[in-house]
């Protein structure tokens, strides 16, 4: 899932093979979702980007725990196929599809309005949807598409659903980031394309840094509400996120696939943050792909930067009055 950064190095082929070998050799025993007794009967969960990859594996696990499981997907056909697959695998009829494109604030608002109208509670929100490899693109709403998809859309969605989460407390918010956040930078001008980064890799890294900053500030604001918010890295995972890259990069990805995590393995840290008893009461933290509590980068721990990003995000999403630039 998080491989593109290595492909910019002049010796990317050999370095990527070496990375794959190291990941295979260093793979540690991690928390096992199958041994976690958490039952979600009577609970409602939302997983974005749940029609494939990590998101689908997370939704499958939560449905197995008897949760009312809402798959928030951009594509109706693929989303419905995932719903039918999960229903058949779990025997849980309460697996539903709701359309959501996190690159569109209008879509996010429509989705949130439907949830608030139709659902009585929300116990877990997993912001998993994300992409990389796209060229610089400005959406009809004036936002850079990768930043909107990976960060600003989830920011708005979470804020619109906060009252329902609080009313359902104890509740959890899980934001899927990446170890690549440490190579990112956070500047509100990226969100509208006023300031451009060089390459899709730098863009991806920066969206993932914003996910960590957002989580830290969100957790601070939610203190005392019974809602916790954490973020995590799934590791280097074999999913379809590479689909926007060139055929050469995709071929390389296939070559090292035996050495990296499957989508099921990559979903473990997300599931851990969503349901494990160990995370109960922990908030505003970053977990690595082996479910270990880890310090994120120095930039990700900058409280002032997190507040500044939050305020700019509020303005851009219309959550507060202020100039939209």
Per DSSP, the residues of 257-271 read GGGSB-HHHHTHHHH
Q: What is the pLDDT of residue 175?
A: 98
| Average pLDDT of the chain to the nearest whole number | 89
pLDDT, average across residues 111-118: 98
pTM, rounded to two decimals: 0.86
The pLDDT tens digits of the residues spanning 127-158 come to 999 998 889 999 999 999 999 999 999 999 99
The pLDDT tens digits of the residues spanning 39-48 come to 999 999 999 9
Torsion of CA 85, 176, 6, 259, to 10 degrees: -50
Residue 88, Cβ neighbours under 10 Å: how many? 10
pLDDT: which is higher, 263 or 4: 263
pLDDT at 53 over 60: yes
Q: Which band of pLDDT confidence, cut at 50, 70 and 90, is reported for residue 323?
A: very low
pLDDT at 73 over 90: yes
pLDDT, average across residues 18-35: 68
Closest to 180 in 3D by CA, of 152, 137, 214, 212: 212
pLDDT, average across residues 41-56: 97
Q: Which band of pLDDT confidence, cut at 50, 70 and 90, is reported for residue 38?
A: very high
Closest to 208 in 3D by CA, of 300, 85, 82, 108: 300
Torsion of CA 52, 55, 57, 61, to 10 degrees: -140
Q: Position of tokens 């910019």?
A: 8
pLDDT at 101 over 60: yes
Instruction: Classify 239 as helix, strand or coil.
Output: coil
Cα–Cα distance between 36 and 41 in angstroms, integer? 15
**Catalytic annotation, residues:** 204
Beta pairing class for 286-287 and 293-294: antiparallel
Task: List residues bridging with 287 in a β-sheet.
Answer: 232, 293
Q: How many angstroms from the chain centroid is the CA of residue 302?
A: 21
pLDDT at 240 over 60: no
């Amino acid at each position: 899932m998080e491989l593109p950064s290595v492909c910019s190095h002049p010796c990317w082929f050999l370095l990527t093979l070496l990375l794959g070998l190291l990941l295979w050799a260093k793979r540690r025993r991690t928390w096992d979702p199958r041994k976690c007794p958490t039952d979600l009967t009577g609970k409602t969960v939302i997983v974005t980007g749940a029609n494939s990859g990590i998101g689908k594996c997370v939704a499958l696990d939560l449905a197995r725990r008897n949760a009312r499981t809402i798959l928030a997907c951009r594509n109706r056909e693929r989303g419905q196929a995932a719903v039918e697959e999960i229903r058949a695998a779990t025997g849980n009829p309460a697996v539903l599809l709701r359309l959501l494109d996190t690159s569109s604030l209008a879509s996010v608002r429509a989705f949130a309005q439907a949830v608030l109208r139709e659902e009585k509670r929300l116990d877990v929100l997993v912001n998993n949807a994300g992409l990389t490899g796209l060229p610089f693109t400005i959406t009809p709403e004036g936002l850079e598409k990768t930043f909107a998809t990976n960060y600003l859309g989830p920011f708005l969605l979470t804020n619109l659903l906060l009252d329902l989460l609080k009313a359902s407390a104890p509740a959890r918010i899980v934001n899927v980031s990446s170890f690549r956040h440490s190579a990112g930078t956070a500047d509100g001008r990226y969100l509208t394309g006023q300031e451009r980064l060089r390459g899709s890799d730098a863009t991806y890294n920066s969206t993932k840094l914003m996910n960590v900053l957002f989580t830290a500030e969100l957790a601070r604001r939610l203190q005392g509400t019974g809602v916790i918010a954490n973020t995590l890295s799934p590791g280097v995972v074999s999913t379809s996120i590479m689909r926007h890259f060139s055929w050469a990069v995709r071929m390389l990805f296939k070559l090292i696939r035996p050495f990296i995590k499957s989508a099921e393995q990559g979903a473990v840290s997300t599931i851990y943050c969503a349901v494990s008893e160990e995370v109960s009461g922990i908030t505003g933290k970053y977990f690595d792909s082996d479910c270990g509590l880890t310090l994120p980068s120095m930039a990700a721990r900058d409280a002032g930067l997190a507040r500044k990003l939050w305020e700019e995000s509020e303005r851009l999403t219309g959550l507060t009055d202020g100039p939209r630039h």
